[in-house]
Chains A and B, each alone.
Chain A
Amino acid sequence: MPVSISATTLTKDFSSVRALNSITTSIEKGEIRGLLGPNGSGKSTFMKILMGLIKPDYGHVSVEGFDPSRDPVQVRQLVGYVPETPRLYDFLTGIEYLDFVADLYGLAPQVKKERIDEFLTAFELKGQGNDLLAGYSQGMRQKVALSTALIHKPKVLILDEALNGLDPRSAKIVKDTLVKLSSDGVTILFSTHVLEIAQAICQRVTILDKGNIIAEGTMDGLRAMAGGSTASATNLENIFLSLTGSSDVKAVVEELTAH
């Protein structure tokens, strides 16, 4: 399969903190790649570099053949992105906001109308479409953000914890949509802390820790890496905790609840 996203020796520092340390990876067209890691492991930084929102200090990235730091506008035309904390314009209504984003992507009026109607219906926002976003709940705002990422039918989706705050129905719709888009050839890079979701929909998983890729591969590959076929390595949560050295959970809980 052709490569959609590639990163070579990607490095990024913030002052004295190394957010990414010589990351090299590639994602095939149509693949759903899960990006996992503890807080501060560099997931969001990696995604922002792919979007051209921040520049790497060293290394090279390519998204659909474009370098995001050189051709950010071309990359953004092809990519749909949901940031970790979507910031919407609170003084616009849901519809006005979608309309605004659709205009930025240059969608024709009729296409715009159809797409906006589709998303409002799918995410059950039809009744609130004309309300100001200031009055939306977190889940409703997340639905709007997801709609804007999908509105222009992107070739690549970069979703930074995009299922946060969604109700079960909407989360199911998004998961199924991602699987369908993937089968249509859309590449999806998906970060989450909900490991069951990653296990359910991702074809491959990359685990970041302190700016380094500590594991990458299919579920079977990761399982083997974390301890073969032992009982503790059967699900992604245990694999993740084992690989990131976070298996002291029980001791921490006991410490916190001790009198």
Chain B
Amino acid sequence: MNFTKVWIITKSLLLSQLRATATSRRGSIRSIIRRPRVLGMLDVAAFVLATGAMFYISSLIVGTPIASTVAEYTKSGLVILPAIIMSMILLIGLIFEITSSYQFSSSDTANWLPVTASEYVLASALALVIYYSILPIVLIGGLMPLAYTFGLMQAWEYAVVLSIFGIFLGASVLEIIRAVLNRFSSSFYKKGGQAAIAIRAITGVLILVVFQLMFYPTIYTRFIGAVTSSFGPIWFVPILWASVSVAAFIDGSALVSVSFAMLSIALTLLLYYIAVVARTKYWVPMPPSIRISSAVYTPKSSPSFLGFLSATQLAIARKDLRGLVRRKEMLRFLALPGVFLATSIFSLSSSGGMSFFTYFGVFVVGISSFFLATSSVGSEGKAITNLYQAPVATKDFLIGKVTTPSIFGSLIGILFFIVIGALFESTHLAEVVVFLAISLVLSVELSLVGLYIGARFPNFSEAPRSSYMSQTAALIAFPIGAILIGITLAPLFVAALMATGLEGTFLAFVGSVAVAVILSGIFYALASGQVRRLLSQLPF
């Protein structure tokens, strides 16, 4: 392996990713966060800030009655650090990274330059790790002062080293998913029909959900916890080997610690090897040629439930819906609700029960609509020119673009609450109906919010590592979405806390709907203005 070449590819992928979020009309670079060096400086700043803040907090804790409890939590934190960082990289990669379009899979220069699979996979993993380095660095930096305060500094150093392998383990898994998704997408070459498209979408979603679950530590700890009262058999789970090693290190069991560290490193190398094999075997840069239908063309008429949309609005919505189920790079949005719900099922405490599920279900509906809407403008890429050169008015663009995420969120809500309704039918049917209704309203509200953010911070760049919104939007999107969902659900939260009964829940429902309508109105106006500005001239 030529490491100079690996570093050159890493830099080019990193630059592609950094600048994909920020190129201006003339290609000049406006934002500060465009160079890997600046990313490194941000990492240092984040480390110093996290360390400083936790040093201050540690100094307040020392000598207080809670010190021993915090020391125990610090030990636990160090033990789970490698697993947490690995699953963090995996989840972020799944949401933002895992798919790139056919166009750039095939035009990626690595396809025709003299680059081996092992060099590319290592470079790709390195680029991903460096790009998202700030999150592990904050965790690692935050734990250091606590470890220092409670005499666990050596354990911290040990956990950090194993966490670095954890990061590469996560990145290697992402490379495996990339290759597998590419292979199965391309396997539809010259096969087709609506059924093939549906199978492709469903299989893609399943692959993403299953991989996420396979490398989600909480599932294993809960499973083992359910089987035995202690976590003794945890050594049986490969992705937790690093954690076992750190725990043994803290307990002073050197042999166990070294053995599991070796196993953990071997696992990372094995997964890297599998990623290289997967890329060598499965990488197919050719875009698939799919025949959707052999039927004679007949113009489509509007579905009756969408009869209130104009032809233009419906055309945009229909096009986006087709894109959602047909585009490989959109699979993550289809998979997102499944990932959230599947991991939540394994994470929630048994006492959460029905209430947790209903609130979490509404949250998933809102956040799914929201993320789809935030990407709906940027995901057009340069093809958005089609909407500029046709007579599309602001209102048509806005309503057309909001329709798909609203429908998507609503469908998730309906499916989810049908299942919940079936599970809790006898005691909570009224509650299920209330939550279903609010989730439908919320999907429209969050679609409008998402469209505003998507139109305000679009990223149309088409590069091997581009995303659909700017880096700023990627950072602020989730908190904004979560806060607005919280505000909308606040009346229902209050009613639940006060145990107001069904009548109180109904009143709270009316309150939540009123909040949703007001917020929808505000964000409709904001999104209108933003779309008007966006459509005033080509953004690239």
Q: Which residues on A are within 8 Å of B, measured CB to CB? A: 14-15, 17, 48, 51-55, 69, 72-74, 76-77, 81, 83, 87-93, 95-96, 99-101, 103-106, 109-110, 112-113, 116-117, 129-132, 134-135
Alpha-carbon separation in the docked complex, A172 to B290 (Å): 30
Measured CB to CB, the closest approach of chain A to B489, in angstroms, equals 35
B37 on interface, CB distance cutoff 8 Å: no
Q: Does residue B386 face the partner (Cβ distance < 8 Å to A)? A: yes
19 A-B residue pairs with Cβ-Cβ distance under 8 Å, sorted by A, are: A14-B25, A53-B388, A53-B389, A55-B536, A69-B537, A76-B390, A76-B391, A81-B389, A90-B101, A90-B102, A90-B103, A99-B315, A103-B312, A103-B315, A104-B312, A129-B297, A130-B294, A131-B292, A132-B288
Say how far B35's CB is from chain A's closest CB, in angstroms: 20
A130 touching B536, Cβ below 8 Å? no
Shortest Cβ distance from B286 into A: residue: A135
Q: Tell whether, in the assembled complex, residue A131 and residue B289 are in contact, meaning their CB atoms are under 8 Å apart.
A: yes
| Alpha-carbon distance A134/B292, docked complex (angstroms) | 12
- A130 with B295: CB separation less than 8 A: yes
Q: B388 contacts which chain A residues (CB < 8 A)?
A: 51, 53
Q: Which of B290, B295, B392 contacts A73 (CB 8 A)?
A: B392
Question: B281 contacts the other chain (Cβ, under 8 Å)?
Answer: no
Given A15-B28, A91-B322, A134 contacting B288 (CB threshold 8 A): yes
The answer to whether the Cβ of B350 comes within 8 Å of any Cβ in the partner chain is no
Q: A83-B389, A87-B386, A99-B300 are in contact. Are A104 and B289 (CB under 8 A)?
A: no
Residue of chain A at shortest CB distance from B330: A91
Given A103-B312, A135-B289, A87-B390 contact (CB < 8 Å) = no
Q: Which residue of A lies closest to B295 (CB)?
A: A130
Flag whether B293 is at the interface (Cβ < 8 A): yes
What is the bound-complex CA distance between A104 and B315, given in angstroms? 7
Give A66 to B393 CA distance when docked, in angstroms. Answer: 16
Contact call B390/A113, Cβ cutoff below 8 A: no
Which of the 9-residue segments B41-49, B271-279, B361-369, B377-385 touches chain A?
B377-385
Contact B327 A91 (CB under 8 A): yes
Residues on the B chain within 8 Å of A54, using CB: 537-538
Q: Which residues of the other chain, B, contact A117 by a CB distance below 8 angstroms?
A: 297
Query: Would you call B386 and A88 a contact (CB within 8 A)?
Result: yes
Q: A54-B538, A104-B315, A109-B299 are in contact. List 5 more A-B contacts (CB 8 A).
A: A73-B391, A91-B326, A96-B322, A99-B299, A103-B311
**Which single residue of chain A is at the shortest CB-CB distance from B300?**
A99
Would A89 and B319 be within 8 Å (CB), given that A77-B391, A103-B311, A134-B287 are in contact? yes
Contact B323 A89 (CB under 8 A): yes
